[in-house]
Amino acid sequence: MMTTSRSAQIWLLAGAALAGLAGPLAGPAAAEEPQRGGTAIVHMVSEQRVLNPALRASTGVYNITGKIMEPLIDKSYDGPVGVLATDWSSTEDGLHITVNLREGVNWHDGKPFTCDDVAFSAMELWKPLLNYSSTLQQYLESVDCTDPHTAVFNYSQPMPLDLFVAAMPDLGHPVPRHLYEGTDIMRNPHNTAPVGTGPFRFVEYKRGQYVIAERNEDYWRGAEYPYLDRIVWRFIPDKSAAAAAMEAGEIHESGTNSLSMADIERFSQMDGFDVGTRGYENNVAHSTVEFNHRNPILADLKVRQAIYHGLDIDYAIKTIMRGYAKPGRGPIPSTGGANYTDDVTTYAYDPELAKQMLDEAGYPAGPDGIRFRLRHRPAPWGEYTQLWAEYFAQAMGEIGIDVEILTNDAPGFLNGVYRDHDFDTANGWHQFRSDPAVSTMVWLRSGSPAGTPWSNQFGWKSDEMDRMIDEAQAELDPAERAADYHAIQAKAMEELPVIFAIEHPFISVTSKKLHNHHNNPRWISSSWYDLWIEH
Amino acid sequence: MQLTQVLTYALRRLLQAVPVVILIMVGTFLLLKLAPGDTVDALVGDMGGADAAYIARLRAEYGLDQPVWVQLGRYMAKLIQFDFGWSFVYEQPVSAILWERLGTTLMLMGTSLSLAFSIGVGLGAIAARRAYSLTDNAISTLGLVFYATPSFFLSLMMILLFSVKLGWLPVGGLTDVAAFYTGWDYVFDVALHLIMPTAALSLIYLSFYLRLMRASVLEVADLDFVRTARAKGAGETRLMVHHIMRNALLPVVTLLGLQFSTVLGGSVVVETIFALPGLGQLAYQSVIQRDMNMLMGIIFLCAIIVVIVNFLTDLLYARLDSRIALK
């Protein structure tokens, strides 16, 4: 028997969960007659350089290439939707996944899109070269093309269909085989001049300035789409200048917290702008507190619990995140669908209890009121992490822990924490990628080689947890799988290897001239075929 | 000052510069290696993570798994052939990007410095001639205000006034991307985009020239040869232009040479705020991304520019003051 993919229940739950996060952003525009034509201008803080989502899995890359190259499967608020795939199914043993591909789709250079492209991309790019995908596709043996529009993915170990489908929007962009085969893939010129099947075709990438894509006249969804003539991404590194450009009407969209929180708040009170977190349900992140368990003080569970009790999460949400967030409940965010549970141990703000627990753990306050000192490394991922680190230091000071903040830029931070393990505590973001198996569990499982960023480099090791993670990873039945992940969350909240303190989606500022915006859970990365602009 | 004399001088200066440049390059290479983290760390940070095997392969591909002295040797060998290497961040040859960016920065710095120099020298001279009068006080105060204003603040205030409130000038960038101008329209568009960054930069530089020129004129005006000229019946204008200004310009020219040498670093803030794709912004981004080849390329370019500008300053000196000879 074939298991079908459309486990509607997961997505209904996801929908219910995200309603709570939606914030004040207006929903998709009411049924108005879309206008054809016009140019949407999008703000980018930093340059993307490589424009190939089959080589670099990152939101910044999808933000541009998502309009030009399409994945097999995308996500909507009602569940997964086929883009270049129409249907998918798995054999009962989970070893073979069959994907039916859309017919009548052409690459931007006019060549037809077929299974050959998918098989080539999967074996030559997704499996060996794409970050995250090399773990996901670790057991992928081959991709067979039974006919030009049917691809069969063969695995040597069971691959849960749910995991495959959840990963495809981010990790399933095919490249045209005829432009990549026989070339040095990492140096292929199409990595910066992408050829795809999407609603917009690549025109120009002017480094340090802009990327332009224009309407694809041969789009498979029909001549009606896309509505826009052109999209321009402008690189504006200075946040204040970008806010001014937004205000002057020179840009229409600034996503993924690319403006300062003060400006975001200002725009939320101005006419003419939509501000909110809708459309980021698939990009929810956690603000964390990470422990170096090699430090015997922090290896003591009681100390970690005391630290959690010493943090006023609600205060941080109100001040640092300006309300666009909620308390974390473990490694999986509330938008995680059926795999999420909030039935876990929680740690209320109680500094007196925290002090008492530290006393009990054998760390009484010295004559100067200090119990012990910690060296803390904050990740330089913008305002949230810096302010959260400062709050952490301050809150710890109140319960007698002296925290020294060591600030680095990104390479310095990644080295200090993940390679040299030269820290006591650290904080950063951990972004959820729609399925806990994709990049979440590596935070809790032991055994990552030194130097792997965003992995368990904290020296925390639990054989029990490792076993639970491996079991969940191989579980094919969606209900069993969800139960496994609930158990993992409960354990993570009990043992606190990491504090997943605050769950926060990104925030967009959008000109009200744009319509049909933020209408799917990974909107900034999606194809924008139905976006239109008032003119 | 004869042509052959200048050429011999130029050649000797060039030969002297070679070991200096090599020393600079080796020194900075080693210094940059001391920063924690490399290109791959920065790339992986941008990507949002990758597994260890992937990271190790990238590092091997970029040659970062080799000992530092091997990397240095390889780099210097390439540099001798004027090959700046490949930027792993931009996935392009370094020289192509440098070339593209140099134009913007030279244009920005060229216009700002010449504006700052001519206006600053003029205002400084006027202030000195009317020393301690109302005009002098007004000019000096204005200079002080611009001198004390941080460039980022001045730039943002200008954006707020001229772009957001008045809507006269574009906020940033080099061109209006969506307009697709060609020919003179394009030139006009670029000029429009350069007004604010040029003004912001030149206003800050201007105060240096103004203050230096004022002090210098006051000093020269008291010297004996000025008094002699005046006694011989030279008019005030002739006195100012031929006798005082020419001599007072010497320290100001030194400053111009010095400032032009910092051409690449000087515009980091302004280029970043106005999103201008120049070398300043590139240098800043390259540090963050640990783009070694790019940084080394920029530093090499800086070193060359410093050598050339110093040479030109010396020539100008010899022209202004006949007591100085080119040896």
Among B97, B171, B174, the residue with its CB nearest the CB of A241 is: B171
Average pLDDT over every residue of A403-411: 89
Average pLDDT over every residue of B133-142: 89
Which pair of structure tokens corresponds to residue A134?
């090399």
Contact A132 B97 (CB under 8 A): no
- A159 touches A438 (CB < 8 A): no
CA dist A154 and A158 (Å) reads 9
Q: Closest Cα to residue B87, out of B49, B57, B42, B56? A: B42
CA dist B266 and B282 (Å) reads 12
Average pLDDT over every residue of A105-109: 96
Size of interface A-B (CB pairs under 8 A): 151
- State ipTM: 0.78
pLDDT attached to residue A31: 56
CA dist B101 and B97 (Å) reads 6
The alpha carbon of residue B231 is apart from the nearest alpha carbon of chain A, in Å, by: 58
Q: What is the pLDDT of residues A297-346, one digit of tens each?
A: 999 999 999 999 999 999 999 999 999 999 999 999 998 889 999 999 99
Contact A451 B55 (CB under 8 A): yes
Which pair of structure tokens corresponds to residue A48?
């993307």
Q: How confident is the model at residue B264 (pLDDT cuts 50, 70, 90)?
A: low
Asked whether the bond before A226 is cis by omega within 30 degrees of 0, the reply is yes
Average pLDDT over every residue of A343-363: 95
On average, the pLDDT of chain A sits at 89
Q: What is the pLDDT of residues A125-160, one digit of tens each?
A: 999 888 788 888 989 999 999 999 999 999 999 999
Q: CB-based contacts of A217: which residues, under 8 Å, 6+ apart?
A: A223
B50 touches chain A (CB under 8 A): yes
On average, the pLDDT of chain B sits at 84
Average pLDDT over every residue of A410-428: 89
B275 touches chain A (CB under 8 A): yes
pLDDT attached to residue B71: 86
Q: CB-based contacts of A244: which residues, under 8 Å, 6+ apart?
A: B156, B159, B160, B163, B164, B171
Residues of chain B with C-beta less than 8 angstroms from the C-beta of A411: 35-38, 41-42, 45, 290
DSSP per-residue letters across A345-373: ------HHHHHHHHHHTT----TTS--EE
CA dist B98 and A98 (Å) reads 48
- B288 touches B42 (CB < 8 A): yes
Contact A411 B164 (CB under 8 A): no
Whether the pLDDT of residue A276 is over 70: the answer is yes
Whether the pLDDT of residue A14 is over 70: the answer is no
Task: For residue A457, give Cα distances in angstroms to A247, A380, B36, B128.
Answer: 43, 18, 18, 66
**The dihedral sign for the CA sequence A420, A421, A424, A426:** positive
Which pair of structure tokens corresponds to residue A81?
């939707």
The alpha carbon of residue B178 is apart from the nearest alpha carbon of chain A, in Å, by: 7
Contact B47 A58 (CB under 8 A): yes
The alpha carbon of residue A103 is apart from the nearest alpha carbon of chain B, in Å, by: 32
CA dist A416 and A506 (Å) reads 26
Contact A234 B275 (CB under 8 A): yes
Residues of chain A with C-beta less than 8 angstroms from the C-beta of B92: 192, 207
B196 touches chain A (CB under 8 A): no
pLDDT attached to residue B20: 87
Contact A414 B49 (CB under 8 A): no
B91 touches chain A (CB under 8 A): yes
Q: Which residues 280-319 of B have a C-beta within 8 angstroms of A?
A: 281-282, 285, 287-288, 290
A65 compared with B312, residue with greater pLDDT? A65
- B221 touches B239 (CB < 8 A): no
pLDDT attached to residue B260: 76
CA dist B66 and A165 (Å) reads 40
Q: How confident is the model at residue A243 (pLDDT cuts 50, 70, 90)?
A: very high
The alpha carbon of residue B160 is apart from the nearest alpha carbon of chain A, in Å, by: 7
The lowest-confidence range among A50-64, B58-72, B132-146 is B58-72
Contact B45 A50 (CB under 8 A): no
Contact A409 B288 (CB under 8 A): yes
pLDDT attached to residue A527: 95
DSSP per-residue letters across B243-290: IIIHHHHHHHHHHHHHHHHTHHHHTHHHHHHTT--SHHHHHHHHHHTT
Whether the pLDDT of residue A2 is over 70: the answer is no
B51 touches chain A (CB under 8 A): yes
State the DSSP H helix or E strand holding residue A3, giving kind and residue range, or none if neither.
strand A3-4
Contact B177 A439 (CB under 8 A): no
pLDDT attached to residue B252: 85
Which alpha helices (H) appear in A145-238, and where do they start and end?
161-171, 177-180
Whether the pLDDT of residue A25 is over 60: the answer is no
Average pLDDT over every residue of B277-298: 85
B174 touches chain A (CB under 8 A): yes
pLDDT attached to residue A409: 83
Which pair of structure tokens corresponds to residue A371?
């119990």
pLDDT attached to residue A29: 45
B34 touches chain A (CB under 8 A): no
Q: By percentage, how much of chain A surpasses pLDDT 90?
A: 71
Residues of chain B with C-beta less than 8 angstroms from the C-beta of A46: 46, 285
Q: What is the pLDDT of residues A31-87, one digit of tens each?
A: 578 999 999 999 998 887 789 999 888 888 999 999 999 999 999 999 999 999 999
CA dist A121 and A478 (Å) reads 28
CB count in 10 Å sphere of residue A343:
9
CA dist A9 and A485 (Å) reads 16
For an interface test with A, which of B51, B104, B168 has the most A Cβ atoms less than 10 Å from its Cβ? B51
Contact A452 B55 (CB under 8 A): yes
The alpha carbon of residue B325 is apart from the nearest alpha carbon of chain A, in Å, by: 45
Which alpha helices (H) appear in A43-140, and where do they start and end?
59-65, 115-121, 133-136
Among A135, A191, A245, the residue with its CB nearest the CB of B171 is: A245
Q: Closest Cα to residue B175, out of B275, B95, B250? A: B275
**b/e A323-337 (16+ beta carbons within 10 angstroms → b):** ebbbbbbbbbbbbbb
Residues of chain B with C-beta less than 8 angstroms from the C-beta of A412: 35-37
Q: Closest Cα to residue A316, out of A505, A507, A502, A504? A: A502
Q: What is the pTM of this model?
A: 0.84
CA dist B247 and B224 (Å) reads 13
Q: CB-based contacts of A208: which residues, under 8 Å, 6+ apart?
A: A47, A235, B101, B277, B281, B282
Give, to the nearest 10 degrees, the angle between helix B292-320 and helix B94-129: 40
Whether the pLDDT of residue B177 is over 90: the answer is no
Q: Considering only alpha carbons, which residue of chain A is nearest residue B59?
A: A451
